[in-house]
């Protein structure tokens, strides 16, 4: 029994590590170690939930709900997931990583309960969604980026015209008030680049605009 429980903890950590490795290769907020710890922790919580109160349950007139601890793990993951979500300049990032941590916790709970096949299947399915569907999305829709400009206010219309000529799909545009000393303002634009558009082409075209001092792509 003890070896089986130790195997569950180790396997939950290993499966969580596979998801964390994919996230770390993408330079995301939560990586390998975070996902391993989530997998190990949730498996241990599940083991405690199932087997940690056997001595108390054996006493008369005592009844416990073995699902209560597991349910609290699901709720508690909301706090950890929220920490990976970044809201910067009205742009939300980290939702996929937060969802990955949530799935990792579920995998840990499943493995901790002894359902090995379900946990392994869930891990493989999560990796397919994170990797394969990412490539399909980029192939069909394109890659989402954020362009950050430091430019003269009068150059803003020309930037939008150039992006339209380059057939770049634009999203939300935000402009920060002009700096008094430099006379420059900061403009942020959400764009989607199809696989036919090379990023360096966009850089060259935008930097040629008079009044554009710098362009950053995130």
Q: Which among 85, 119, 140 is the end of a domain?
A: 140
208 and 131 in a common domain: no
Are the CB atoms for 46 and 70 separated by under 8 Å? yes
Over residues 142-153, mean pLDDT: 84
42 and 95 in a common domain: yes
Domain that holds residue 196: 143-217
Q: Model-level pTM?
A: 0.66
182 and 131 in a common domain: no
Query: Could you report the per-residue pLDDT of 67-99, keeping only the tens digit for each?
Result: 777 788 877 887 777 777 766 555 567 778 888
In whole angstroms, give the CA distance from residue 151 to residue 156: 8
Q: Which among 78, 113, 140 is the end of a domain?
A: 140
Q: How many domains is the chain built from?
A: 2
- Is the predicted pLDDT of residue 20 greater than 60, yes or no? yes
Cβ-proximal residues to 195 (8 Å cutoff; 6+ apart), any chain: 138, 139, 142, 143
21 and 125 in a common domain: yes
64 and 37 in a common domain: yes
Are the CB atoms for 211 and 151 separated by under 8 Å? yes
* 175 burial via Cβ count (<10 Å: 0-12, 13-18, 19+): middle
Q: Which among 140, 158, 189 is the end of a domain?
A: 140
């Amino acid at each position: 029994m003890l070896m089986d429980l130790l195997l569950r903890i180790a396997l939950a950590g290993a499966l969580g590590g596979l998801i964390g490795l994919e996230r770390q290769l993408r330079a995301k907020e939560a990586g390998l170690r975070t996902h391993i710890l989530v997998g190990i922790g949730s498996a241990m919580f599940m083991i405690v939930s199932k087997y940690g109160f056997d001595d108390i349950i054996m006493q008369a007139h005592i009844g416990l709900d073995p699902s209560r601890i597991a349910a609290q793990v699901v709720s508690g993951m909301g706090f950890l997931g929220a920490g990976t979500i970044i809201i910067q300049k009205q742009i939300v990032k980290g939702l996929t990583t937060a969802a990955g941590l949530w799935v990792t916790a579920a995998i840990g709970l499943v493995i901790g309960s002894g359902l090995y096949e379900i946990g392994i299947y869930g891990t493989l399915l999560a990796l397919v969604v994170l990797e394969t569907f990412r490539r399909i999305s980029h192939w069909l829709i394109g890659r989402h980026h954020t362009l950050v400009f430091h430019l003269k206010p009068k150059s803003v219309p020309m930037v939008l015209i150039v992006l339209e000529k380059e057939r770049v799909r634009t999203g939300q545009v935000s402009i920060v008030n002009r700096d008094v000393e430099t006379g420059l303002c900061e403009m942020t634009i959400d764009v989607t680049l199809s696989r036919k558009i090379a990023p360096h082409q966009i850089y060259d075209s935008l930097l040629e605009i008079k009044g554009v001092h710098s362009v950053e792509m995130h």
